[in-house]
């Protein structure tokens, strides 16, 4: 009977590890989505004259943050 209990324990640990990895993955995705949404909100707060200065239509996140810091100063 011990092998059954041992294998059940191993299965449970493997299952828990997989569950934890999946949960961490989902939590990380939600965190990245929150950051991206907040950066998009900051981008929308930049004046159109600042946005028009950018040659490419897709600005990098770092560029958006830098412009907002300069704008707030």
Domain range enclosing 52:
2-72
CATH code: domain of residue 38: 4.10.280
**Residue 47 per-residue DSSP state:** -
* Residues making up the chain, counted from first to last: 73
51, two tokens? 């946005």
Backbone angles phi, psi at 57, to 5 degrees: -75, -25
Instruction: Tell me how many domains the chain contains.
Output: 1
CA distance 11 to 17: 10
Q: Rounded to whole angstroms, what are the CA distances from 32 to 22, 29, 35, 46, 66?
A: 15, 5, 5, 21, 19
pLDDT tens-digit readout, 55-68: 555 678 888 888 88
At 71, is the pLDDT very low, low, confident or very high (cuts 50, 70, 90)?
confident
pLDDT attached to residue 31: 96
pLDDT at 33: 96
């Amino acid at each position: 009977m011990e092998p059954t209990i041992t294998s059940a324990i191993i299965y449970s640990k493997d299952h828990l590890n997989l569950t934890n990895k999946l949960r961490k993955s989902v939590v990380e995705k939600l965190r990245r989505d929150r950051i991206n949404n907040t950066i998009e909100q900051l981008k929308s707060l930049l004046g159109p004259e600042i946005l028009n200065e950018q040659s490419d239509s897709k600005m990098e996140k770092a560029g958006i943050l830098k412009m907002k810091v300069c704008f707030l100063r």
